[in-house]
Amino acid sequence: AIPLVVAISTAVSAQNGLLIRNRTAFEDSRKITALLFDKTGTLTKGDFGVTRIVSVDKQFSEDELLRLAVALEQSSEHPIAVGIVRKAKENKVTIPKPEKFNAITGKGVEAIVEGKNVKVVSPGYLKDKKIELPADAYSSEAETVVFIIIDDKLAGYIALADEIRPESAEAIMVFKKNGIKVLMATGDNDKVAKAVSDKLGLDGYFAEVLPHQKVEIIKDLQSKGEFVAMTGDGVNDAPALAQSDVGIAVGSGTDVAAETADIILVNSNPHDIANLILFGKATYSKMI
Ligand code: ADP
Ligand code: MG
């Protein structure tokens, strides 16, 4: 016979955009005391529109920055890349062909374009390399900013805006009612992270986080007695998903992260996790 829990978890997942890969994950979901969310595409829509292109090194015009950046971003699936490619299409940019394209894990992308080493990277990368942030980069709290580095010098930046998912606030209310701490870890800058955290009333957030730091954040929470679930996407979140007590991979789940995950959140919707936890609690309170 099929164990009851398997039958139930299959039914729950089928209806709610979840793939439960691990038999104990459904059981474990009711033990969760802390949930660590990623931001982009999970708490937010992950649908970026370019709001500003700013030249820092006047050698490079805004059009030139967009042209060079999109040469790299056409090969990336990151939501930021999708936004930049859309902008380039709108502007009918002729896209140069990059050589030696490389994704810098959790930090951005790089390639050789027309003989120049071009990078499009996170604020964390700048911090790492001790490159000073341009003063006007964060003039709006709602903007995500990526930096264009040409031959190791900051050439300019592109600001983009994303929106909070309408389902996020409702899901967070469910978690809070159930005594679950809701936290966020993002590679994005502090200002954007704080704005999202404040709007959603999160219990805390970590900004400008590099992928390996997510593992440390989870270990730290676990050492304080928390039973930690986390959401993550992409190859770079795989170690953190493995470290967490319930690893939830977002999106289609065809990448490496999905293999380390206990659960796949097919529609990247936080509300589906709320349903899972509620259903898990209801099921086990009836069974015991
Ligand atoms: P997040 O899901 O928080 O965006 P990621 O680990 O996917 O975290 O990326 C971390 C950061 O690296 C992003 O916030 C962005 O600043 C930068 N980044 C990653 N990929 C790209 C890309 N293709 N183009 C520009 N920046 C990128
Ligand atoms: Mg990500």
Looking up residue 185, the CATH number of its domain turns out to be 3.40.50.1000
Same-domain pairing of 157 and 169: no
What's the pTM value of the predicted model, to 2 decimals?
0.82
CA distance 274 to 167: 10
Model confidence at 236, pLDDT cuts 50, 70, 90, reads confident
What mean pLDDT is reported for the chain? 89
* Atom from ligand 1 closest to the CA of residue 84: 24
Same-domain pairing of 175 and 122: no
The reported pLDDT for the residue numbered 139 is 80
Q: Please identify every residue whose CB atom is under 5 Å from ligand 2, which is an ion.
A: 233
Same-domain pairing of 35 and 175: yes
Is residue 251 pLDDT above 80, yes or no? no
Same-domain pairing of 253 and 170: yes
Which residue among 106, 137, 161 closes a domain? Answer: 161
For residue 282, the CA-to-ligand 2 centroid distance in Å is 32
The whole-number average pLDDT for the span 231-258 is 79
Same-domain pairing of 212 and 272: yes
Model confidence at 32, pLDDT cuts 50, 70, 90, reads very high
For residue 284, the CA-to-ligand 2 centroid distance in Å is 33
Structure tokens that stand for 232 in this block: 């993550």
The reported pLDDT for the residue numbered 38 is 92
Which residue among 129, 161, 193 closes a domain? Answer: 161
* Atom from ligand 1 closest to the CA of residue 76: 23
Q: How many domains does the chain have?
A: 2
For residue 107, the CA-to-ligand 1 centroid distance in Å is 6
The whole-number average pLDDT for the span 24-42 is 91
The letter for the amino acid at 219 is K
Same-domain pairing of 84 and 124: yes
For residue 79, give the 3-state DSSP assignment. Answer: helix
For residue 171, give the 3-state DSSP assignment. Answer: helix
Same-domain pairing of 84 and 120: yes
pLDDT tens figures, 36-81: 999 988 999 989 999 999 999 999 999 999 999 999 999 998 899 9
Same-domain pairing of 216 and 152: no
Residues taking part in catalysis = 38
Residues having CB closer than 6 A to ligand 1 are 38-40, 73, 76, 78, 80-81, 106-109, 120, 122, 146, 186-188, 211, 234, 236
- DSSP, residue by residue, 162-213: --B-HHHHHHHHHHHHTT-EEEEE-SS-HHHHHHHHHHHT-SEEE-S--HHH
- Which residue's CA is the nearest one to ligand 1's atom 18? 108
Ligand 1 probe mutation, 80, 128, 129, most atoms within 8 A of CB: 80
Which residue among 132, 161, 190 closes a domain? Answer: 161
Same-domain pairing of 196 and 209: yes
Is residue 203 pLDDT above 70, yes or no? yes
CA distance 13 to 266: 10
* CATH (domain of 59): 3.40.1110.10
The whole-number average pLDDT for the span 108-122 is 97
Same-domain pairing of 25 and 97: no
The whole-number average pLDDT for the span 230-247 is 87
Quote the domain boundaries for residue 65.
Answer: 49-161
